[in-house]
Amino acid sequence: MTFNRFISATMAVALLAACSDKDPLGEGPDNGIGNPGENIGDGYVAVQINLPTNVVSAAPRAANDNFDDGTPNEYRVSNGALLLFTAAPTDKEGDAVFKAAYDLNLESYWISKPDDVDNITTSNLVAVQVTNPAQTGEKLYGLVMVNFRNVAGIGEDNTLQLKAADGSSTAFSGKFSDLVNKISDCSFYTGSGTGATNFFMTNAPLSSVDDKTKPEASNVTTLVDITDGIKRTRLEAENAPAGSFFVERAVAKATLSVTANNGLNVGTGENAVHFTADNIEWTLNATNTKSYIVRNMGELDYIGYQSPNKPFRMVGNQKMGTTQIQPEVDLYRTYWCIDPNYDTYTEGDLTYKEDKTTTDFVKAGSGNPLYCYENTFNVEHQLHQYTTQAIVKVQFKVEGADAAATFYTINDRQDIIYTNKNEVITYPVSYILQDSRVAAAVKKAIEGTGQSVSITNENYTKYMTITFTRNDKGLYAVSNIEFIATEFEKLHNGKDPSDEGYVQGKKPVFEGEAGANLIADVNKAYTIAEYENGVSYYPVRFKHFAGASTTDATDLAPWDADKVGASSYDYDGYTGTKSGNAENMWLGRYGMVRNNWYDLNVTGFNKLGKPSIGGLEVDSDSTPDDNVEQWIAFKVNILSWAKRVQNVDL
């Protein structure tokens, strides 16, 4: 797994009293900083803002601190805001009280980073007039928002207005813990796909210890202490920045590439078929509908989790830095958080693409990224239905054919591929014709005529209408069985219709629920999958700390299928039923965290997927994420962005 890097921007933020009569350029008399802890009133403070690179998530790579800058659009900056908080020296970070918000002009010159392997992309220097709200003896803290105008606004008297997707806004007041728990349904970027830009960013929670030392909650901070950075002049502030702000994008990034495509072989002998895999596209599924504005670290009871013989996976080991104006500092990235539905889900929390059209899909390739809110969960909810996934759409074509064509399988047997619909339906038709409920209905309909009826596969269309319909799961199923009256009404006992005792045949009907039960039974006996135009769908759940296998050295939370079982997390307490050690062992194997880039790499096809998105039934699938059965071979890479790469065989 790899993560987004930080763009380093040095900003001189001028903290000035409203209506200050001092020289706005800061070139008036140097009055000094005053005594330590003294509120100097009007002043300037310089802060360094570092924009992120991506962390990349990759399988077999699951290690943290794998960085990639991404595209220029992803670190474009259009606007910014500085939020000020005050607190007593003994207060916890969450107790800091919001005081004011100020616009930042961030469109000036940005200093690029020197290489591609660090946390930072670029740096800047900017100044803004503000009023210092800290009283003597209080601490002053800052939070920076970048590209914030979709999410928030700054109102009169420097109030912070939090926006909603419906266009409404609400003034924020309260503690930093209150802001951290604020949820937004606004878009955290503008545009889409390759045109996405202006990504919303805020301070990243950082740790003061790396992954070799067990971190405590007290080691993690989000706000930046700028108490001692207030200066009398802008020049002083620019020469002595108050602190470094490392910001991160508020969304996760995903890409899908195909590095090995040898098609798909199915069947043996005379039934052998080789498909070529063409027109590979993908989309996101089971995505969050809302997100916290600032990364919410929760109670941090998980921060010291560690699997045996592994580092403390919730933090990285690469120091933050460096650019020409941002020296290396003893701070390290953190790699987990909670989201608004972390341990409790209600209907509507996630978006499931069950019936979407092809317009929801994008072509495979690293140049076609998709973005989404972060999605994390505790181990109890580490299940298919709650895990964000890629749906991979592949069009299979029989090798040598001019075009892709519809084909069928029966009962998920992929050793025989059927291309003729009429051949496929002979199986359920035979089942129906041989069923005793059909015989009973016919017998009753012609009773007393002295006649008999033989209904076969060859002539049944004279006597019955058997309707097949493709349902939303891509299954070609019997939807209705009805007898045709005409042939039965021709049958009689040989007497004239005017004679006494004349008996005529009539249209057979099923008694009670016999017909409905027959339909259910035949569809259970023969599950016909219809791959319309050769299209097959595969689900690929995004791994976070998990590696490609139990032997993958970079897997930070290994799960041993041989010990646990085929598709269960019960062993050793994955669900907390035995040792109770599940969270420590496996929390974060799957999920998506903001400012992480999850790069899926398709390396092959093992079997056919499902014939429709509905057939995946993700929204009701309570299978644990670490299910042994795999449909696609894949490798996930997470990019700086922290970048995570995941190889998958489908």
What integer is the mean pLDDT of 84-110? 89
Residue 481 near residue 468 (C-beta atoms within 8 A)? no
C-alpha span between 641 and 282 (Å, rounded): 21
Within 10 angstroms of residue 561's Cβ, the number of other Cβ atoms is 15
Q: How far is CA 325 from CA 10, 272, 331, 337, in A?
A: 7, 64, 16, 30
More confident residue, 219 or 554: 219
Reported as a single tens digit per residue, the pLDDT across 350-383 is 999 876 555 689 999 988 999 999 999 998 899 9
> Could you write out the DSSP letters of every residue in 603-649?
EE--S--BSSSGGG-GGG---BS--S--SSEEEEEE-SEEEEEEEEE
Cβ burial of 53 (10 Å; 0-12, 13-18, 19+) is buried
**Secondary structure (H, E, C), 170-203:** EEECCEHHHHHCCEECCCCCECCHHHCECCCEEE
CB within 8 A of 56, min separation 6: which ones? 1, 2, 3, 66, 67, 68, 596, 597, 598, 599, 637, 638, 639, 640, 641, 642, 643, 644, 645
Which class would CATH give 254-263+276-394+539-604+621-649? mainly beta
What integer is the mean pLDDT of 313-333? 83
C-alpha span between 644 and 650 (Å, rounded): 19
What integer is the mean pLDDT of 187-214? 94
Residue 211 near residue 131 (C-beta atoms within 8 A)? no
What integer is the mean pLDDT of 306-331? 84
C-alpha span between 587 and 643 (Å, rounded): 19
Lowest mean pLDDT among 237-241, 247-251, 577-581: 577-581
CB within 8 A of 197, min separation 6: which ones? 73, 74, 76, 189, 190, 191
Reported as a single tens digit per residue, the pLDDT across 482-513 is 999 999 999 999 999 999 999 999 999 999 99
Identify the pLDDT of residue 457: 95
C-alpha span between 636 and 542 (Å, rounded): 8
What integer is the mean pLDDT of 534-548? 92
Percent with pLDDT over 90 in the chain: 59
What integer is the mean pLDDT of 607-621? 92
Residue 8 near residue 325 (C-beta atoms within 8 A)? yes
Reported as a single tens digit per residue, the pLDDT across 153-200 is 999 899 999 999 999 999 999 999 999 999 999 999 999 888 899 999
Q: Report the chain's mean pLDDT, rounded to a whole number.
A: 83
Percent with pLDDT over 70 in the chain: 80
Question: For residue 7, what pLDDT band results from cuts at 50, 70 and 90?
Answer: very low
Lowest mean pLDDT among 60-69, 74-83, 133-142, 193-202: 60-69
Q: Hey, what are 521's tokens?
A: 């039974």
Reported as a single tens digit per residue, the pLDDT across 37-47 is 444 456 666 66
Element (DSSP H or E) covering residue 517? helix 514-525
Residue ranges with strand state E in 425-573 = 464-470, 476-483, 528-531, 535-541
- pLDDT higher than 60, residue 237: yes
Place of tokens 């964000």: 388
Among the listed residues 187, 548, 84, 121, the one whose alpha carbon sits nearest the alpha carbon of residue 323: 121
What integer is the mean pLDDT of 562-582? 51
Reported as a single tens digit per residue, the pLDDT across 393-451 is 999 999 888 899 999 999 999 999 999 999 999 999 999 999 999 999 999 999 999 99
CB within 8 A of 357, min separation 6: which ones? none
- pLDDT higher than 60, residue 107: yes
Pairing of the two strands 252-258 and 596-604: parallel
- pLDDT higher than 50, residue 467: yes
Q: Hey, what are 560's tokens?
A: 């041993």
- pLDDT higher than 80, residue 63: no
Question: For residue 646, what pLDDT band results from cuts at 50, 70 and 90?
Answer: confident
Residue 373 near residue 184 (C-beta atoms within 8 A)? no
C-alpha span between 58 and 635 (Å, rounded): 6
Pairing of the two strands 641-649 and 54-57: parallel
Residue 258 near residue 271 (C-beta atoms within 8 A)? no
Question: For residue 259, what pLDDT band results from cuts at 50, 70 and 90?
Answer: confident
Question: For residue 12, what pLDDT band results from cuts at 50, 70 and 90?
Answer: very low
Q: What is the residue extent of each domain of the chain?
A: 9-51+68-245, 254-263+276-394+539-604+621-649, 413-526
C-alpha span between 314 and 297 (Å, rounded): 11
- pLDDT higher than 70, residue 598: yes
Place of tokens 């005053």: 34
